[in-house]
Amino acid sequence: MNWVWFHRLGSPPHFFRIAGRMIPWFAWLAAITGIAGLIGGLGLAPPDYQQGEGYRIIFVHVPAAVLSTTAYAVMASAAAVGLIWRMNVAHAVAASSAAVGAWFTFVALATGSLWGRPMWGTYWEWDPRLVSELVLLFLYLGYMGLRSAIDDTARADRASAVLALVGVINLPIIHYSVDWWNSLHQGHTLLKFGKASMPPSMLVPLLLMMLAFTLYFGAILLVRARGEILRRERNARWIGEAIGAGS
C-alpha cells in the first residue's frame, strides 16, 4: 500500500493548503444536506404512531449523539497518530476536535432530556446510555482542561493524547449500553437485527441530517485545525507565503 499521501498530510504546509481547499466543499454540502434533512424531518415525515410529533427531536438528537462519538473517535485516532508518529498535524487535529465534540455531546444530552420529559416523564434518568454520554462530556472537558493546564505544547500533546486514548473505552460502552443493560433508552435507532427500524419517510431525513452533521464537523474541524497549525508553526517560513497568498 502506498503511504505517501499519509506522510504528505503530516506536512503542515500541505495540510494547511489541502484543508483550505476542502472547507468550502464540506460547508456547502453540509448546508444542502442539512436543509434537505430539515425539510424532510420537520415537514414531510409523518408523525410517529406512538410518539406523535414529539419524535421529530430525533432529527437533531441522533445526529448530535453520533457526532459526539465520531468527534471523540477522530480525536483519539489523531492523538494516537500524533503519539506514535510524532506528527504535529495529528495533534493539531486532535486538539481541534475536542471543543466541537464537547458542544455536540451537550446538545445530544440536552435534546435527549427534552425528548425524555414528554416520553419518559422525566428530564433525566440514571440510565446507562445517558450516564455513559455524560462521561463522554466529562472526558472532553478533562481533555481540554488538561491541554490548557500545560504550557508546553509538546507535553500537553502527549498528556492529552494518553487521556484521549484511555477514554476510548467509553465509546463501545455508549454504543452497546442499550444491549448490555436494562435501559429506558430505546434500542438502536437505525438498525435492528440488520433491518431499518423505521420507514424510509423517516429514515431518509435522519440519514441526511446525520450526513449534514458529519460534513459540518469536517468543515469546522478543518477551520480549527488550520488555526491550530498556524499557532504551532508560527516561526516557520512557509507561514508568510501561505498567509500572503490569501489562503
Partner 1 sequence: MMHWLYMGGYWPYVWPSYLLTLFAVTLNIYLARRSLSAAKSEARRRAQAQRSEA
CB 88, CB 7: distance < 8 Å: no
- Cβ at position 177, least distance to partner 1 in Å: 22
Nearer to partner 1 among residue 44 and residue 84 (C-beta): 44
Taking the C-alpha atoms of residue 183 and residue 137, their distance in angstroms, rounded to an integer, is 20
In degrees and rounded to multiples of 5, residue 225 shows phi and psi of -65, -35
Angle subtended at Cα 145 by Cα 82 and Cα 229, rounded to the nearest 5 degrees = 40
Nearer to partner 1 among residue 83 and residue 136 (C-beta): 136
The partner residues of 192 in beta bridges, in order of sequence, read 195
Nearer to partner 1 among residue 83 and residue 137 (C-beta): 137
- Cβ at position 168, least distance to partner 1 in Å: 23
Nearer to partner 1 among residue 76 and residue 225 (C-beta): 225
- Cβ at position 57, least distance to partner 1 in Å: 5
Task: Summarize as ranges the residues that interact with partner 1 (CB under 8 A).
Answer: 42-43, 47, 52-54, 56-57, 60-61, 64, 99-100, 103-104, 106-107, 110-111, 114-115, 117-118, 216, 220, 223-224, 226-228, 230-231, 234-235, 239-240, 243-244
Taking the C-alpha atoms of residue 34 and residue 55, their distance in angstroms, rounded to an integer, is 18
DSSP 52: B
- Cβ at position 193, least distance to partner 1 in Å: 29
**CA distances to 35, 122, 208 from 53, in Å:** 19, 18, 19
Q: Which amino acid is at 66?
A: V
Nearer to partner 1 among residue 83 and residue 102 (C-beta): 102
Q: Which three cell numbers stand for residue 245?
A: 497568498
- Cβ at position 96, least distance to partner 1 in Å: 8
